[in-house]
Structure 1
Amino acid sequence: MKRKNMYILLLFVSLYANAQEMPIGVSNKFTFPIGSKFTIKLVPKDSVNFDYSVVEFEKYSQVINMEDLKKLFVENGEEDTISFYFCLGTRGDTEEEKKKNMQILLLFKNYSDWQLDYSTDIRREKDFEPTSNVGMFPGIIGIEMWPFVIYDIDIHQIKKHLK
């Protein structure tokens, strides 16, 4: 029953959430609502750290099939950009399996030449809380998954991975 309520709530939020206006300028942190597709352009601050600008943003209310992610991203994106989907995803053959496997996803593809680390904070209810992440590898599709409702995500502190 909880998964069904989560699914209905997330569909409602993704369909009716107010669209964030395209940010002007460059920052080291932006907030994105669930049901978003966006691309950021990295802007070097120094030899390790990046700010970024949002170069594309749109609402995205489709549920992603987690078994077929390659079709979401172009092979070669614009240099020094990262494309994201922050939405619902599932996998399975039957509707029952798909409902059971429904999760919140942050999908991304890094079109830069750098392996990157970044920080994320998620808003589940009133306040934002930090969450762990996997890092970003050049040319690779990455995925973060959560089994609970998330309304917004902050992406910040993007930097080159130091070995």
Structure 2
Amino acid sequence: MKLIATFFILFLSLNISGQELPSPYNAGYEFPIGAKFTIKLNTTDPKNITYSIIKFEPFTEIINTFGKDDLFEKTGEEGTIDFYFYIGTHGESEKEKNNNMQVLLTFKNRTKFSLKYISEIQRNEDGGFKETSNMGAYPGAVGNEMWPYMINMIRLRDFEISNK
């Protein structure tokens, strides 16, 4: 399972990494599992925020679900959000780790804003996207979303500044 997941992540990541960066500002983009990326927000219109992908690279490590403290640099560019979309696991034995694999989206909001946004997931390679819940993004905070099943792609779109 671990080998198949790693190969799949690498394959999808190579497909998106050929884009010119930074990307044009847009309301949303799609990202494959096995990706580390940074977006820069344009907050001129707080209800219709667009963003540009300024960094993207494959990320094929399988991380301890509860040990993500070292993923992010201490400092980063103001107005950006750093993301990891990857597979994590936990457990003592290989059997436990294989049974506990899950997809995670972990991010650090380097803006001064609380943000809400729409996240949609694609579970099947040829399937459509379905909206999934998210916790939003809080200024300076690390956020984490988890799913117990495989996800091929995630779409992040329609960011807004939240009053919460």
Equivalent in the alignment of 2:8: 13
Equivalent residue letter for 1:10: A
Task: Tell me the C-alpha RMSD between the 2 structures.
Answer: 1.5
Task: Say whether 1:139 aligns with 2:134.
Answer: no
How many equivalent residue pairs? 158
| CA displacement 1:98-145 (0-9 Å, x = unmatched) | 112110011100000111111111111111111110111111111111
Q: Secondary structure at the match of 1:114?
A: coil
Equivalent in the alignment of 2:38: 39
Deviates more, 1:47-56 or 1:103-112: 47-56
Equivalent in the alignment of 1:156: 157
Equivalent residue letter for 1:94: S
Question: Structure 2 CA distance, aligned partners of 1:104 and 1:147?
Answer: 7
Question: Structure 2 CA distance, aligned partners of 1:76 and 1:115?
Answer: 19
Question: Structure 2 CA distance, aligned partners of 1:51 and 1:161?
Answer: 15
| CA displacement 1:62-109 (0-9 Å, x = unmatched) | 101122211000122110100000110112222222112110011100
**Structure 1 residue runs without a partner (length 5+):** none
- Give the Å deviation of 1:9: 4.1
Contact 1:40 1:83 (C-alpha < 8 Å) held by counterparts: yes
Question: Structure 2 CA distance, aligned partners of 1:145 and 1:22?
Answer: 29
Contact 1:79 1:112 (C-alpha < 8 Å) held by counterparts: yes
Contact 1:22 1:56 (C-alpha < 8 Å) held by counterparts: no
Contact 2:120 2:129 (C-alpha < 8 Å) held by counterparts: yes
Task: Say whether 1:53 aligns with 2:52.
Answer: yes
Equivalent residue letter for 2:60: S
Q: Secondary structure at the match of 2:75?
A: coil
- Give the Å deviation of 1:151: 0.5
Matches within 5 A, 1:1-150: 4=1, 7-17=2-12, 18-20=14-16, 21-22=19-20, 24-125=23-124, 126-150=127-151
Q: Secondary structure at the match of 2:6?
A: helix
TM-score w.r.t. the length of structure 2 is: 0.89
Q: Secondary structure at the match of 1:67?
A: coil
Contact 1:42 1:53 (C-alpha < 8 Å) held by counterparts: yes
- Give the Å deviation of 1:158: 0.7
**Structure 2 residue runs without a partner (length 5+):** none
Question: Structure 2 CA distance, aligned partners of 1:151 and 1:47?
Answer: 30
Contact 1:19 1:58 (C-alpha < 8 Å) held by counterparts: no
